Amino acid sequence: MNIAQIKAVLPRELLASVVVFLVALPLCMGIAIASGMPPSKGLITGIIGGIVVGFLAGSPLQVSGPAAGLAVLVFELVRQHGMAMLGPILLLAGLLQLLAGRFKLGCWFRVTAPAVVYGMLAGIGVLIVLSQIHVMLDQAPQPSGLSNLIEFPAVVGQAIPSIGGGLGWQAGLLGLLTIAVMYAWEKLRPQKLRFVPGALLGVGLATGLSLFFAMPVKRVEVPANLAEAIDWLRPADLLNLADPTLLIAAIAVAFIASAETLLSAAAVDRMHNGQRSDFDRELSAQGVGNMLCGILGALPMTGVIVRSSANVQAGAQTRLSAILHGVWLLGFVVLLSSLLQSIPVASLAGVLVFTGVKLVDFKAFKGLGRYGRMPMFTYAATALAIVFTDLLTGVLLGFALTLLKLAFKAARLKITLVDQAPGEVELRMVGSATFLKVPALTKTLASIPEGTTVHVPLAGLNYIDHSCLELLEDWGRANQSKGSRMIIESRGLKRRIEGRLRTSAGFGS
């Protein structure tokens, strides 16, 4: 892009970048808190996602940063292994993404069944809601979704003055106010102000009220100097990657981040008529970004649909908007960090509760019904497994159910005997003739009378394996002495099968 082109698009890109910045600011901090990390870690990821990944991205209108879809996984990793180990995990995950992009494997990350992806996001959404409700009451979340659900009545009791004497109800009101403002703004905002993000209005109003009434609630802790928030990766920590659990965690982060990124990129492409996404380049850019996040001790990043859609709707047409949003984040953190320290944590938790609810996409669930009950079951099973066990178990269950469905479809075979003429029948097979259908095929062949000529057309089969071919050959060989004859009808295969039958019976060519 030359200087003249930059001057032509700069006003529009500036406006779009400011809109994206306003959307990203509360989300970066809120997702960090939901991940069990300081808010500054989310801001660092947002800055890298804008300036670095925005420059390298293969999807120019997609915005990258910390994602709610990884918050649950990061929370669990930090709880089990400590914050210091997140850096090596992200470094390896980013390297895997970079290599996958270089080897042009981007398209393979998109073959994940939509039912698994939507179910994964729904399960993550439920977990975010269950954990952030505790944060909305100025309480610490529990380590699992089930624990958060069980402990919720006790937390509410502690927050209500008449029961436990706590002050969490004030924080809870601020969180509910944030959610109410976001919901009302989404439904009622005027067309002229459509670019103003509801999250910013909700957080701004909650912050103003909390300061006006001097509410004793927890507030965001951001260092005055951004450099203090950076935890450089220590080379000694890399040795811990020999732990198999950390290797699995890195692979899980790489896969989930890549899948979410490329699904988001595909969705962004449907929103505009400009340059299409290069998925391999986008994957490589995400890998570079996550490696930098690992080196600096920040949160993992993905391409995120909420910020990306805001970018497109604000009129962005080039990657300049995504880059500038990262510049605004950096400038705000450096120059106005004291303003961030006034924001109630409960208000950011309200933003995440609202976001988590939206991740449970019932429209997507109903849409899967067009393809049968199995995708809907896979969606529900994946989501519930994530809520009641953990993210990796739920995703693996979703994959297992998808493979089970494929195996079931591959094993479907319709077998019928059709009379053609006196002493002749046709053995019709439609579907896939695999070893799983050998018993049914054996039973059908056993019902054919002696002295019958059996025609076996293979045109209705999309696959036939060795076990079924051997069964047909064995039947023809065993019944040839009884006057039966089998004719396999499929071009060159007919001659080969008949030749093998004659040779086996002693009629050498």
- pLDDT digits 0-9 by tens, 139-185: 888 877 778 888 888 877 776 665 445 568 889 999 999 999 999 99
- CA 124 – CA 318 distance, rounded (Å): 31
Per-residue confidence (pLDDT) for residue 295, from 0 to 100:
96
Q: How many residues does this entry show for the chain?
A: 509
Q: Which amino acid, one-letter code, is at 62?
A: Q
> What would the mean pLDDT of 454-483 be, rounded to a whole number?
88
Per-residue confidence (pLDDT) for residue 433, from 0 to 100:
87
Q: Which amino acid, one-letter code, is at 279?
A: F
> What would the mean pLDDT of 43-58 be, rounded to a whole number?
96
> Is the pLDDT score of 111 beyond 80?
no
The pair of three-digit structure tokens given for residue 241, joined into one six-digit string:
């990657």
Q: By C-alpha distance, which of 203, 261, 189 is closest to 27?
A: 203
Out of 135-149, 401-415, 451-465, the most confident range is 451-465
Per-residue confidence (pLDDT) for residue 162, from 0 to 100:
52
Under a CB-based contact definition with an 8 Å cutoff, are residues 395 and 381 in contact?
A: no
Per-residue confidence (pLDDT) for residue 55, from 0 to 100:
95
> Is the pLDDT score of 425 beyond 70?
yes
Per-residue confidence (pLDDT) for residue 292, from 0 to 100:
97
Under a CB-based contact definition with an 8 Å cutoff, are residues 453 and 424 in contact?
A: yes
Report the percent of the chain where pLDDT is more than 90. Answer: 42
Per-residue confidence (pLDDT) for residue 5, from 0 to 100:
65
Report residue 447's pLDDT band, with 50, 70 and 90 as the boundaries: very high
The pair of three-digit structure tokens given for residue 247, joined into one six-digit string:
């290797």
Report residue 65's pLDDT band, with 50, 70 and 90 as the boundaries: very high
β-bridge pairing 485-489 and 453-457: parallel
Per-residue confidence (pLDDT) for residue 204, from 0 to 100:
94
Report residue 222's pLDDT band, with 50, 70 and 90 as the boundaries: confident
In this predicted model, what pLDDT tens digit does every residue of 286-332 receive, in sequence order?
A: 999 999 999 999 999 999 988 898 888 888 889 999 999 999 999 99
- CA 402 – CA 374 distance, rounded (Å): 9
> What would the mean pLDDT of 80-92 be, rounded to a whole number?
93
Report the percent of the chain where pLDDT is more than 70. Answer: 92
> Is the pLDDT score of 498 beyond 50?
no
> Is the pLDDT score of 396 beyond 90?
no
Under a CB-based contact definition with an 8 Å cutoff, are residues 178 and 350 in contact?
A: yes
Report residue 113's pLDDT band, with 50, 70 and 90 as the boundaries: confident
Q: By C-alpha distance, which of 6, 66, 1 is closest to 36?
A: 66
State whether residue 430 is helix, strand or coil. strand
* Residue boundaries of the structural domains of the chain: 12-405, 413-504
Looking at domain 413-504, which of 3.30.750.24, 2.30.40.10, 3.40.50.1820, 3.40.50.300 is its CATH number? Answer: 3.30.750.24
> What would the mean pLDDT of 402-416 be, rounded to a whole number?
84
Per-residue confidence (pLDDT) for residue 282, from 0 to 100:
96
